[in-house]
Amino acid sequence: MQDIENNKNEELKTLRTYTSDMAEAVRTNEASVIKIALAEKEKREQEAVFEEARGTKTSRTLFVVGGIILIIGAIFGSLYLIAQKNKKDTPTVVEEKIGTFILYNNEIKIDVTNATNITDLAGLINKETLGEAGSTNAIFLQKKVDGNNILLTTKEFLSMIGATAPGALIRSFSDNYLLGKYSTQVDTEKKTSTFLIFETTNYSQTYASMLSWEKTMLRDLYTIFDIKIPEQVEGQTESLLDRQWKDMIINNRDARILYGDTGEGVLFYAFINKDKLIITDNIETLRKLIAELLLRG
């Protein structure tokens, strides 16, 4: 009897344990299903947010195209800026090379290695083609030394033309000078004027010596300046070569002028800022050079 009761109690305990396990399993499964459902919902919500952030296919395409356009625009912009800088850095006028004090348009290099006098030099210069009307032509006289082209110094230039300038004047000049021609248009005829610019290192000495050189300056320079010296006619008291220089004011600067037989200016010279001396055969060229030298300081 005791055994029967024990068996019933054991069976009842077993049934109760199984039922409770099933209930627990169901509760666990329900919890898992809910978790899965919640997780799935959260996943869909995140995907929806992500898709919204990415935008539509059309908007993404437009975004990519826009980015490409911006990149291309940046490239072309950079190329344009580089081109403008190169254009700016490439001047149309050459300036301030050795021996120059002004801007010029046309550069003429002449080999004078075999030239021995002013006539040879004038012949070489006259063979050169000058720039168009209104252009400034810088003439560089060179000689070959050990296979290299070397610019003539001021002393060498004055020696070549046989200048009778006082020694004190030549010593007061620096090695830098500029020989040039300015082209002008008069009616239908193209004309040129010649000019020389010297740099002085001693204004007082140069000024005093220039007054002494006036006596023979035209005789020294008329060939290279292509100035025609009229023959002295019978009864004429003095030749143009012996005429006295006069004072004048040009661009608020003291200048000296040698007048011709009809009152025209044959040769001019003027000091600029006490360190530059201009000699030329044309008053308009003198005005232009004075203005440019004053502008450049």
Query: How is the chain split into domains, by residue range?
Result: 2-89, 94-296
Q: What is the pTM of this model?
A: 0.66
- Concatenating the DSSP letter of every residue in 42-79 gives HHHHHHHHHHHHH--HHHHHHHHHHHHHHHHHHHHHHH
Closest CA to 197 of 206, 184, 186, 205: 206
- Alpha helices by DSSP H, the chain: 2-54, 57-89, 118-126, 154-160, 167-172, 203-213, 217-221, 283-296
* 219-273 pLDDT per residue, tens: 999 999 999 988 765 655 678 888 999 999 999 999 999 999 889 999 999 999 8
pLDDT at 59: 62
The CA-to-CA distance between both ends of the chain, in Å, stands at 138
Q: Residue 151 pairs with which residues in a beta bridge?
A: 142
Q: Which residues contact 271 (CB under 8 A, 6 or more apart)?
A: 200, 203, 206, 207, 253, 254, 277
pLDDT at 95: 44
Q: What is the mean pLDDT of residues 103-120?
A: 93
CA atoms within 13 A on the CB side of 123: 8
pLDDT at 181: 95
- Concatenating the DSSP letter of every residue in 117-143 gives SHHHHHHHHHTSPP-STT-EEEEEEEE
- Least confident range from 107-111, 185-189, 225-229, 233-237: namely 233-237
Question: Residue 109: pLDDT above 90?
Answer: yes
pLDDT at 205: 96
60 vs 101, more confident? 101
Q: Is 99 left (phi over 0), alpha (psi -120 to 50) or beta?
A: left
